[in-house]
Amino acid sequence: MVESNSKRQLVIIGGAEDKDGDCIILRDFVRRAGGTKAYIVIITAATELPREVGENYIRVFQRLGAENVRIIDTETREDASSSTALEAINKASGIFFTGGNQARITSILKDTEIDLGIHKRFSEGIVIGGTSAGAAVMPDVMIVEGDSETHPRIETVEMGPGLGFLPGVVIDQHFSQRGRLGRLISALILQPAVLGFGIDENTAMVVTNNQVEVIGQGAVTIVDESEATYNNMGEILKDESLAICGAKLHILPHGFKFDLKTRQPILNNGSVANVSVPVDLVST
């Protein structure tokens, strides 16, 4: 079950978001962080090039007018308890996780002072953003790594603990661009989660409390396993292929919304897309 949090604000980005043009996605993040009055902390734990990656985001956030932008560069778990870092977290109105390798984020940060501090600020309502590896860490159980462009197999994905800002779901990024349907389905079958989100590049799912809104260039592919009639997880050996029957599939581009509690898409006009329409009407 997806946990409720009435102040939850997340901007979860599928990677490769626009940093030079309209910046629809990063603009939304900065606005949620307080606009020109924002105090943004960039967490570069995912990358081995923290300066390069971090300064790129400083440049964008400052161009969009954020007053204070600073990097927390944590190379080790010791760094992740530093008092200056904690002070910044406590002042932050928005915290942003860059891309890189999601396993670096959790191995350096998980359960450190900084992690606890970020969760405290999150529960107080400040926006948390993340792109690529920074998107992967959002659930409580994340895709650590896995193969793209393959059908579902157990061996396709390695799962591990995430940071848990959006528990009960599975998230994959660079979704259409890297052909990751098989990887998302594998993760979904391996986990007790029933909702899988595949986020395209330059696309984000913006979570406000229990509502997701899709923004950006691509789409968010949602696989709902809750009504699936069958999977063969209990019957196969490790190197065999996974099967799934009757999962529900939604593909939502910019402007569409999705309710995490009812697991129903919400159309552009605000109506809920849960009424079956006769086939002839749908497919013309």
Instruction: Look up 174 and say whether it is catalytic.
Output: yes
Q: How far is the CB of 176 from a copy of itself (least distance, A)?
A: 5
The DSSP H or E segment spanning 41 is: strand 39-43
Establish how many alpha carbons lie within 13 A of residue 215's alpha carbon, considering only the half-sphere containing its beta carbon. Answer: 19
Widest CA span in the chain: 63
Distance CA 45, CA 74 (A): 5
If one asks whether residue 196 binds a copy of itself (CB under 8 A), the answer comes out as no
If one asks whether residue 155 binds a copy of itself (CB under 8 A), the answer comes out as no
Distance CA 108, CA 97 (A): 13
Of the candidates 17, 93, 201, 213, the residue annotated as catalytic is 201
Nearer to a copy of itself, 65 or 246 (CB): 246
Of the candidates 17, 93, 174, 186, the residue annotated as catalytic is 174
Which range in 30-38, 49-57, 109-117, 218-226 contacts a copy of itself by CB under 8 A?
218-226
Distance CA 199, CA 130 (A): 12
Of the candidates 132, 186, 213, 225, the residue annotated as catalytic is 132
What part of residues 115-154 is at the interface with a copy of itself (CB under 8 A)?
148-152
Number of residues located near a copy of itself, criterion CB under 8 A: 64
Nearer to a copy of itself, 24 or 228 (CB): 228
Distance CA 103, CA 101 (A): 5
DSSP secondary structure of 179-194: T-HHHHHHHHHHSS--
Buried b (16+ CB within 10 A) or exposed e, 160-191: bebbbbbbbbbbbbbbbbbebbbbbbbbbbbb
Q: How far is the CB of 101 from a copy of itself (least distance, A)?
A: 22
Instruction: Look up 201 and say whether it is catalytic.
Output: yes
If one asks whether residue 173 binds a copy of itself (CB under 8 A), the answer comes out as no
If one asks whether residue 101 binds a copy of itself (CB under 8 A), the answer comes out as no
Q: Is 236 exposed, middle or buried (0-12, 13-18, 19+ CB in 10 A)?
A: middle
Instruction: Look up 250 and say whether it is catalytic.
Output: no
If one asks whether residue 268 binds a copy of itself (CB under 8 A), the answer comes out as yes
In the complex, the residues that contact a copy of itself under the rule CB under 8 A are 148-152, 176-182, 185, 188-189, 191-194, 200, 203, 218-219, 221, 223, 225-235, 240-254, 256, 265, 267-268, 273-277, 279, 282-284
Q: What residues are annotated to the active site? A: 132, 174, 201
